[in-house]
Amino acid sequence: MKILSIETSCDDTAITIMEVKGKIKNALHGGQASFKILADSVDSQIKIHAGYGGVFPMLAKREHIKNLPILLEKVLKKSGLEKNKKITRRGGGPVDMIAVTYGPGLEPSLWTGIVFAKELAKKWNVPLIPVNHMEGHILSVYGKNKRSFKIPKINFPIISLLVSGGHTELILTKEWLKYEIIGHTLDDAAGEAFDKVARMMDIPYPGGPQISKLAEQERNSGHRVSTIEIKLPRPMMYSKNFDFSFSGLKTAVLYLIRRIGKLDEKTKMQIAMEFENAVVETLIYKTKKALEKYDAKTLIVAGGVSANKHLVKEINKSLKSKCEILFPGKGLSGDNAIMIGIAGYMQYINNKGKVPNPATIKAIGNLKLK
């Protein structure tokens, strides 16, 4: 089965064509289906939005509309399926199914992908599967790389720590494709806090990776003595639930910067390290509690922030003895269309091929996992 998947929920336009082979019926139970990425194309709008300090929705929409047909041509060409583009009288096109993100995200951006996908699905007469972007992030851990991979056997219950620019959630999964949100951020998402702290230090959007680099430099520098005390709070550490809050931490950084005045490179590195430590310690503390409470056998860590090296290292160090830990493969932690293809396929299999009427598919900006 060949799947074309489309992702336009935020500031990346992405289209993938993949082929799934194997005993499809057992795909949900692991080891049976294998995925091969035939073509993957992404157009990142980071440079366009950097000047606005964040994603500017109307600009994102305009870019998606411009990019989608270009990326489609690219993936059809690269996958060698271009010649199948013409439709015979019986219908049918280059792929057997289309998957598209329908939420959560920026609604104007989501609509561009949905409208494009609907037109293609109609033209090629193939099913259209709406995919929850966050389910895509969770299932992105199947993607070990951007070439080919198999669904591994996964033990339940699973706790997923989803950390992205828009979300920070702890999710309990007792059986595939069923989700119970047991904790979430009460204000800023972890990635958003990284980006906002970066902005306070004049680092352009998205500052998460750059803050992480500065923190790493400081960790490797042997911590030369500083005249300023740089200590930040660990928010919600001792609250009894699984919720997070990062806005107080962000404000603490703001006050710290105001107190210091002009920031030199060394001070920026120190703030970055202390901030990253505070976020990572908080995430791990709550995740550990959740793993223990639900006696989880697997931990999935996904979303843009799961690319953070310090988070990966500390999670492996402190939670490895508790359960198996899965991260997305290289290049699959941020937004991508490969994860949307995987999730679309899994939904298709789980619903035994029953597909929604395309007319009922609409963008849902605040879509929740359930």
For the CB of residue 303, give the shortest distance to Zn ion in the complex, in Å.
6
How far CA 106 is from CA of 41, 57, 133, in Å, comes to: 21, 7, 11
Does residue 166 interact with ligand KG4 by CB under 6 A?
yes
Least distance between ligand KG4 and beta carbon 334 (Å): 3
Determine if 304 is a binding residue for ligand KG4 (CB under 6 A): yes
Q: Least distance in Å: CB of 305 to ligand KG4?
A: 4
DSSP 166-222: S-EEEEEESSTT--EEEEEBSS--HHHHHHHHHHHTTPPSS-HHHHHHHHHHHHHTT
Tell me which stretch binds ligand KG4 (CB under 6 A): 24-32, 108-116, 242-250, 299-307. Answer: 299-307
Look at residue 361 and give the partner it binds from Zn ion, ligand KG4, none, a contact being a CB closer than 5 to 8 Å depending on partner kind.
none
> Taking the complex as a whole, how short is the minimal distance between the CB of residue 200 and ligand KG4, in angstroms?
14
The DSSP element (H or E) to which 273 belongs, if any, is helix 265-293
Instruction: Kindly state whether residue 305 participates in binding ligand KG4, applying the rule CB under 6 A.
Output: yes
Identify the DSSP state of 244: B
Least Å from the CB of residue 81 to ligand KG4: 27
- Site for ligand KG4 contains 136 (CB under 6 A): no
Q: Which of 19, 40, 188, 195 is close enough to bind ligand KG4 by CB under 6 A? A: 195
Question: Alpha-carbon distance 342 to 337, whole Å?
Answer: 9
Q: Binding of ligand KG4 at residue 130 (CB under 6 A)?
A: no
Kindly state the tokens that stand for 248.
């107080």
Reduced to 3 states (helix: H, G, I; strand: E, B; else coil), residue 336 is coil
Region of 215 (left: φ > 0; alpha: ψ -120 to 50; beta: rest) is: alpha
Answer whether 279's CB lies under 8 Å from 244's CB.
no
For the CB of residue 339, give the shortest distance to Zn ion in the complex, in Å. 9
User: Which residues from 126-185 bind Zn ion, rule CB under 5 A?
Assistant: 164
* Site mask for ligand KG4 (CB under 6 A), range 323-342, x = bound: -----------xx-------
Task: List, edge to edge, every strand of the sheet that includes 148-150.
Answer: 128-132, 97-103, 2-7, 12-22, 33-44, 148-150
Contact partner at residue 104 from ligand KG4, Zn ion, none, CB < 5 to 8 Å by partner kind: none
How many residues are present in the chain?
370
Q: Which listed residue (127, 209, 331, 356) binds ligand KG4 by CB under 6 A?
A: 209
Q: What are phi and psi of 181, to 5 degrees?
A: -75, 115
Only segment of 25-33, 266-274, 301-309, 316-324 that touches ligand KG4 (CB under 6 A): 301-309
The answer to the question of residue 93 lying near ligand KG4 (CB under 6 A) is no
